[in-house]
Amino acid sequence: MRSIGPSGAKSSGASPPWKRRPARPPEGARGRRTSRLGIEGRKILVGVTGGVAAYKALEIVRLLSASGARCQAVLTRSATELIRPESFEALTGRKAVWDLWASDTMFRPPVAFGPESKPIHIDMAQSADLFLVAPATANVLAKMAAGIADDLLTTAYLAATCPVVVAPAMNVYMWNHPATKRSVARLVEDGVRVIEPDEGDLACGYRGKGRLAAPERIALVVHEMLAAKGPLSGRSVLVTAGRTEEALDPVRVLTNRSSGRMGTEIARAFAARGADVLLVAGVLSVDPPDGVRVIEATTARAMSEAVLREGPARDVVVMAAAVGDWRPKAVSDTKLKRAGELRLDLEPTEDIVRALGEKRGKIRVLAGFALETEEAEARGLEKMERKNLDLIVVNRPEVPGGGIGRGSTEAVLLGRDGYREAIGLSSKDAIAARIVDRIARML
Ligand SMILES: Cc1cc2nc3c(=O)[nH]c(=O)nc-3n(C[C@H](O)[C@H](O)[C@H](O)COP(=O)(O)O)c2cc1C
């Protein structure tokens, strides 16, 4: 079955492979998009060993790549008997490696030689944010547990200082063997996370425990582990997003054109960096990010209550929701009939940002938005002062090619410390990332 070996290896260029951008987007990225929390741009070394479930590693790599991770496959020689390395290359856009001694991948090319030059097993292991071995054979578990490093995968394991997770898969008797149990117990002692196999029908014809955990479950564990190791892990954040609606009668509401995209992207960016995020959501035209706790608050009053209750205990509060400034003084119990002119008596809603700015509590960074049509920056600075904010994001409802309710916009970040950063027309997720990175530096 095998058709490629060390002699057939193609030139790989510089190592480790994820230091180079793939020439084209990874195949998996074109598939269904999964949550990007904690995983976007993170480097995952995916070890694949010689178990019959090796083909399922392709789906794991596809899921991780689709979430924005940079995957590098490292196979054992037995794995290359069961699955072609090229399949991983197609999904990751990076050369899959398996030979410790392959001259083209062993070191970076001569141009990189110098004090920085390291053999691939060190470079690859040391640059990884996480090392996943799936499927992990009984043999590889035993070698890892004993510290045997006789191939690229096991040598990289010893050289890795990042979190390691293994997903064993094997025949039920192999799984139940005392030797395998010893290996697993030793790996757990060594700090390796073990994703236990599932029970069920096994490829070898037996039934019992030993089937590789579902690729989705493995990808989820990787997401969780990476998020937990993010630069903002341990920080708690509240983000408001979306628009509020104030009822006029049982069917009509007073509202605005905010989609909630900016706030949800900010929540997503915080979660991606490992923060514990609470999203106080008004009406959203987009899905809230996975892995973020959501409290619905679709009126100004409900949002005010939620924010003043939950906000003061957080490290960071970002008020990105478009809260209506007025609500009808009276709400009709019955549908208003069309009968000539209608005058609405409006009253101001709660000024949530101001109330929180006065209360503050434990909040280290309180950030808000100023959507202004003229003298935007001056008004933003004035609002930051008046409402006791630390950072304000000034933007305009309409900009050429973007604005409120659209996927992109322009923004200027202004800090109380005099910080100023102008961001030209960009997608809202890119702007969210810049806002979150700025806040992270303020903590
Ligand atoms: C068709 C086939 C399927 C195999 N499936 C498994 C398996 O699922 N789990 C396992 O631990 N070993 C399995 N083995 C045995 C391993 O391939 C064998 O122990 C090998 O030495 C493992 O090498 P590696 O751990 O370096 O990948 C299988 C062997 C064959 C021939």
Task: Please give the structure tokens belonging to residue 313.
Answer: 């205990």
Q: What are phi and psi for residue 378, nearest 5 degrees?
A: -60, -45
* Tokens encoding 259: 């989609």
Q: Write down the pLDDT at residue 114.
A: 40
Q: Ligand 1 pocket: which of 55, 80, 137 to mutate (most atoms <8 Å of CB)? A: 137
What tokens were used for 432?
Answer: 């969210």
**Amino acid 106: pLDDT:** 55
- Written as six digits, the tokens of 109 are 């090319």
Contact 349, 246 (CB under 8 A): yes
- Determine the residue of 52, 141, 183 to mutate for testing ligand 1's pocket, defined as the one with the most ligand atoms within 8 A of the Cβ atom: 52
CA of 124 from ligand 1 middle (Å) equals 24
pLDDT of residue 120: 82
How buried is residue 23: exposed, middle or buried, by Cβ count under 10 Å (0-12/13-18/19+)? exposed
Calculate how far, in angstroms, residue 299's C-alpha sits from the geometric centre of ligand 1. 59
Could you report how far apart the first and last alpha carbons of the chain are, in Å?
A: 55
In this prediction, the residues of the chain whose per-residue pLDDT falls under 50 are: 1-15, 20-35, 108-115
Sheet holding 164-168, edge to edge: 70-75, 43-48, 130-136, 164-168, 193-194
Ligand 1 surroundings by CB, under 6 angstroms: 49-53, 76, 78-79, 137-140, 169-170, 174
At 38 the pLDDT is: 61
Instruction: Return the C-alpha torsion angle 365, 371, 375, 380, nearest 10.
Output: -10
Which pLDDT tens digit goes with each residue over 24-64? 433 333 333 344 556 878 899 999 999 999 999 999 999 99
Q: Give the other-Cβ count within 10 Å of 255's Cβ.
A: 15
Residue 392 has a CB neighbour count (10 Å cut-off) of 26
Antiparallel, parallel or unpaired: β 346-348 and 326-328: antiparallel
Mean pLDDT of all residues belonging to the chain:
87
Question: What's the pLDDT score for residue 231?
Answer: 83
* Nearest CA-CA partner of 218 in 60, 39, 73: 60
Which atom of ligand 1 sits closest to the CA of residue 137?
A: 11
Question: What is the atom index within ligand 1 of the atom nearest the CA of 82?
Answer: 1
- Distance, in Å, from the CA atom of 64 to the CA atom of 112, rounded to the nearest integer, reads 29
Question: Which atom, in ligand 1's list, is nearest to the CA of 153?
Answer: 26
Catalytic residue selected from 146, 185, 188, 204: 204
Q: Indicate if 204 belongs to the active site.
A: yes
Contact 112, 19 (CB under 8 A): no
Cα 142 to ligand 1 centroid, rounded to whole Å = 13
CA of 55 to the centre of ligand 1 (A): 13
Q: How far is CA 31 from CA 22, 34, 132, 181, in A?
A: 17, 9, 21, 37
Model pLDDT for residues 301-354, shown as the tens digit of each residue: 999 999 999 999 999 999 999 999 999 999 999 999 998 999 999 999 999 999
The angle at the Cα of 388, spanning 384 to 394, to the nearest 5 degrees, equals 20
Q: Which domains does the chain have, with CATH numbers?
A: 6-228 (3.40.50.1950), 236-442 (3.40.50.10300)
Query: For 112-127, how does the pLDDT look when each residue is reduced to its tens digit (9 = 90+)?
Result: 334 456 788 888 888 8
Q: What is the pLDDT of residue 10?
A: 37
Residue 161 pLDDT: 92
Q: What confidence score (pLDDT) does residue 107 get?
A: 52
25: Cα within 13 Å, side-chain hemisphere: 9
